[in-house]
Structure 1
Amino acid sequence: MTRTSPTPDSARLPVRVPLVTRPLGLWDSLQATRDNVLSIIPEVALRRPIVSGRTGKRWHMVMDPEAIRRVLLENLDNYPKSLVTKNLLRPAVGESLFIAEGAHWRWQRRTAAPAFSHRNVLNLAPVMTRAAERSVARIAGAGPRAVEMMQEMVTTTFDVISDVTFSSGEGFQRDTVHRAIDAYISEAGKVSLFDVLGFPDWVPRPGRLRAGGVPEMRQVADRAIQRRIDEGPDDVPDLLDLLLAGEDPESGRRMSLPELRDNLLTFIVAGHETTALALSWALYLMAFDQKAQDRARAEAQSVLSDGLARGEDVPQLVFTRQVVDEALRLYPPGGLVSRTALAGDRLCGRGILPGDTVMLPIYALHRHEALWEDPQAFRPDRWAGERPDRYAYLPFGDGPRICIGASFALQEAVIILSTLLANFRFTAVKGRDPKPVMILTLRPEGGVWLEAERVR
Structure 2
Amino acid sequence: MSDKTPVKVSLVTEPLGILGSLNAARRNVLSIIPEIATRQPMVSGRTGKRWHMVMDPGALREMLLERLDIYPKSLVTKNLLKPAIGDSLFIAEGAHWRWQRRTAAPVFSHRNVINLAPIMTAAAERSAERIAAAGDRAVDVAEDMVRTTFDVIAEVTFSGDGMFDSDAVHRGIDNYIAEAGKISLLDVLGAPDWVPRPGRLLFSRGAVSEMKTVADQAIEARRQRGPDGVPDLLDLLLEGEDPETKRQMNTAELRDNLLTFIVAGHETTALTLGWSLYLSAIDQEVQKRARAEVHRVCGDRPVTGDDVANLPFVRQIIDEALRLYPPAGMVSRTAMADDTLCGREIRKGDTVIVPIYALHRHHMLWEDPDAFRPDRFADRKSVERYAYLPFGDGPRICIGASFAIQEAVIILGTLLSRFQFTPVAGRDPDPVMILTLRPEGGVWLEAKPLGPFRPASAA
Q: TM-score band (shorter)?
A: over 0.9
- Identical counterparts, % of pairs: 71
In the TM superposition, what is the alpha-carbon distance from 1:387 to its structure 2 partner?
3.1
Q: Deviations over 1:64-97 (max 9, x none)?
A: 0000001101000000100000000000000000
Q: Which deviates further from its counterpart, 382-391 or 273-282?
A: 382-391
The equivalent of 2:229 in structure 1 is 235
2:6 is the counterpart of 1:14: yes
Query: Aligned residue pairs: how many?
Result: 447
| Structure 2 counterpart of 1:304, one-letter code | C
Return the TM-score normalized by structure 2. Answer: 0.96
The equivalent of 1:245 in structure 2 is 239
Alignment of 1:6-405 (within 5 A): 12-211=4-203, 212-385=206-379, 386-405=381-400
Residues in 2 aligned to 1:321 and 1:157: alpha-carbon distance in whole angstroms: 17
In the TM superposition, what is the alpha-carbon distance from 1:12 to its structure 2 partner?
2.5
State the SS of the aligned residue for 1:391.
Answer: helix
| Structure 2 counterpart of 1:129, one-letter code | T
Q: Deviations over 1:356-397 (max 9, x none)?
A: 000000000001011011111000011112431111000000
Residues in 1 aligned to 2:371 and 2:264: alpha-carbon distance in whole angstroms: 27
Residues in 2 aligned to 1:207 and 1:331: alpha-carbon distance in whole angstroms: 28
Residues in 1 aligned to 2:201 and 2:309: alpha-carbon distance in whole angstroms: 46
In the TM superposition, what is the alpha-carbon distance from 1:62 to its structure 2 partner?
0.1
In the TM superposition, what is the alpha-carbon distance from 1:302 to its structure 2 partner?
1.5
| Structure 1 counterpart of 2:150, one-letter code | F
8 A Cα contact 2:143 2:442, kept in partner = yes
In the TM superposition, what is the alpha-carbon distance from 1:307 to its structure 2 partner?
4.3
The equivalent of 2:414 in structure 1 is 419
Q: Deviations over 1:197-226 (max 9, x none)?
A: 111222221221332410000000001001
Residues in 2 aligned to 1:334 and 1:394: alpha-carbon distance in whole angstroms: 9
Q: Deviations over 1:426-455 (max 9, x none)?
A: 010000000000000000001000011100
| Structure 2 counterpart of 1:25, one-letter code | G
Q: Deviations over 1:48-70 (max 9, x none)?
A: 00000000010000000000001
| Structure 2 counterpart of 1:87, one-letter code | N
Residues in 2 aligned to 1:204 and 1:307: alpha-carbon distance in whole angstroms: 55
8 A Cα contact 1:307 1:423, kept in partner = no
Q: Deviations over 1:121-177 (max 9, x none)?
A: 111100100100110111111121000011100000000000000004210001111
State the SS of the aligned residue for 2:326.
Answer: coil
8 A Cα contact 2:154 2:160, kept in partner = no
Structure 1 residue runs of 4+, over 3 Å off?
Answer: none
8 A Cα contact 1:307 1:422, kept in partner = no
2:437 is the counterpart of 1:445: no
| Structure 1 counterpart of 2:14, one-letter code | R
Residues in 2 aligned to 1:62 and 1:93: alpha-carbon distance in whole angstroms: 27
| Structure 1 counterpart of 2:353, one-letter code | M
Q: Which runs of no fewer than 5 residues in structure 2 stay unpaired?
A: 452-459
| Structure 2 counterpart of 1:337, one-letter code | V
8 A Cα contact 2:139 2:445, kept in partner = yes
- CA RMSD after TM alignment: 1.0
State the SS of the aligned residue for 1:284.
Answer: helix
Q: Which runs of no fewer than 5 residues in structure 1 stay unpaired?
A: 1-9
8 A Cα contact 1:168 1:234, kept in partner = no
State the SS of the aligned residue for 1:338.
Answer: strand
8 A Cα contact 1:288 1:428, kept in partner = yes
Residues in 2 aligned to 1:428 and 1:207: alpha-carbon distance in whole angstroms: 38
8 A Cα contact 1:50 1:61, kept in partner = yes
In the TM superposition, what is the alpha-carbon distance from 1:11 to its structure 2 partner?
6.9
Q: Deviations over 1:280-332 (max 9, x none)?
A: 00000011101100111111112123342100000110100000000000000
Residues in 2 aligned to 1:278 and 1:438: alpha-carbon distance in whole angstroms: 14
State the SS of the aligned residue for 1:111.
Answer: helix
| Structure 1 counterpart of 2:62, one-letter code | R
Residues in 1 aligned to 2:75 and 2:287: alpha-carbon distance in whole angstroms: 42
| Structure 2 counterpart of 1:428, one-letter code | P
8 A Cα contact 2:158 2:234, kept in partner = yes
Residues in 2 aligned to 1:361 and 1:11: alpha-carbon distance in whole angstroms: 27
